[in-house]
Amino acid sequence: MNKKRFLSILISALLLMVVITGCTKNETNEPTNGETSSSDKVYTMKIGNTTSPGDILNITFVEMAEAIQERSNGRIKADVYPSGQLGTLRTMTEGLQNGTLEMATQSPGGLASFMPVYGVLELPYLYNSHQDVYDVVDGEIGQELAEAFLEKTGVRIASYWQNLYRQTSNNIRPINTLEDFKGISIRVPETKTVLDTLTALGANPMPMAFGEVYTALSQGTIDGQENPPAVIHSAKLYEVQKYISLTGHIYSPVVVTISEDFYQSLPEDLRTIVDEELIAAQSRVRKAAEELDEELLNEMREKVEVNEVDTSGWREVVQPVYDNLIKDVGPEAEEYIKKIESVVNN
């Protein structure tokens, strides 16, 4: 064999080896044809929230988002949007349904606009303590309602966090008796249970998006509002209010919701990370909120008048709220109310 022929055979053999190696690599290593493997795909998780950046709820969301991002090595890009940037409670829930949003906050009363029986969790003077609420939402009742909501709406109830008792602030007078509510216009969220409660107490409730409240109070469009102390403080509503009365009329637990389509699209390892961080965040935010409640009230006492309220007998006054819910929803609501009262009184 001459030298020229030998070199030609050698070059052909080397080229064949390169082709074979390249084919083998494509067969054993994804992605191919520009596709992304599940281990390389980045999942965007937008988290919508209506409270201010400094509110304990929003702070906890930010901490959770950072932990999810870190534990997933960036495979989940989680960002929090406070102050209603992504919409109202209702429109954010609709966003979860149509795939434009991945996670958001809600309230039981807000969920009731999609599944009316959820209103049972937000009835006035229903609970005696924070632990009463946790026993209800973490137990069989909360789980049953969550499963029914998922089936009906395609939105997953991911976790029940905190919100504490709703208190009343206004610019007219301190609320000490039911008579004091008369003639006072009070902003309420767009939820029927809260609206019906303020009506039963004698106030003039005005539904309004939370993002509009500060301006409406400063301009005198409304006289007052009702929210937990942490929300009043973080939104600086004390700057445009004279009185805070501790009416404690409703405990409205924050409900963290997630798009079921998004949740199921996550690989199992990423779903586990999200689930674990939700549990960890729930524990942190409940503890922090309870500790902050009195601390923030004491701080606001230096800026506004804060008064305790004797609400003895007010449970009977708001009975029409219970009756209306049972009338609207039917026997299912009555059964759940009995179940909740059984847990609370146990």
What is the reported pLDDT for 50?
92
What is the reported pLDDT for 16?
44
Confidence at 346, pLDDT banded by 50, 70, 90? confident
pTM of the model: 0.83
What is the reported pLDDT for 71?
98
What is the reported pLDDT for 249?
97
What is the reported pLDDT for 190?
86
Q: What share of the chain is helix, strand, coil (3-state, %, to 5)?
A: 55, 15, 30
Task: Give the residue-averaged pLDDT of 249-268.
Answer: 96
Confidence at 45, pLDDT banded by 50, 70, 90? very high
Query: CA 61 to CA 40: how far, in whole Å?
Result: 25
Q: Could you tell me which residues come within 8 angstroms of residue 199 by beta carbon, excluding any fewer than 6 positions away? A: 205
Is 50 exceeded by the pLDDT of residue 253? yes
Q: Could you tell me which residues come within 8 angstroms of residue 289 by beta carbon, excluding any fewer than 6 positions away? A: 56, 57, 162, 163, 164, 228, 230
pLDDT digits (tens, 9 = 90+) for 56-99: 999 999 999 999 999 999 999 999 999 999 999 999 999 999 99
Query: CA 266 to CA 262: how far, in whole Å?
Result: 7
pLDDT digits (tens, 9 = 90+) for 175-220: 999 999 999 999 999 889 999 999 999 999 999 989 899 999 999 9
* Better-predicted residue by pLDDT, 7 or 342: 342
Asked if 166 and 186 count as a contact pair (C-beta separation under 8 A), the reply is no
Amino acid at 245: S
Is 80 exceeded by the pLDDT of residue 122? yes
Closest alpha carbon to 178 in 305, 315, 301, 320: 315
* Structural domains present in the chain: 43-163+253-294 (3.40.190.170), 167-251+298-344 (3.40.190.170)
Task: Give the residue-averaged pLDDT of 311-333.
Answer: 97
Share of the chain above pLDDT 90, in %: 82
Number of Cβ within 10 Å of residue 279's Cβ equals: 12
Averaged confidence pLDDT in the chain: 90
What is the reported pLDDT for 85?
95
Is 50 exceeded by the pLDDT of residue 310? yes
Query: CA 153 to CA 93: how far, in whole Å?
Result: 9
What b/e readout covers 309-333, taking b as 16+ CB neighbours within 10 angstroms?
bebeebeebbeebbebbbeebeeeb
Confidence at 38, pLDDT banded by 50, 70, 90? low
Is 80 exceeded by the pLDDT of residue 11? no
First to last CA, the chain: 99
Confidence at 225, pLDDT banded by 50, 70, 90? very high
Confidence at 26, pLDDT banded by 50, 70, 90? very low
Is 80 exceeded by the pLDDT of residue 28? no
pLDDT digits (tens, 9 = 90+) for 135-165: 999 999 999 999 999 999 999 999 999 878 9
Asked if 76 and 273 count as a contact pair (C-beta separation under 8 A), the reply is yes
Closest alpha carbon to 163 in 241, 251, 79: 251
* Better-predicted residue by pLDDT, 3 or 296: 296
Query: CA 303 to CA 322: how far, in whole Å?
Result: 36
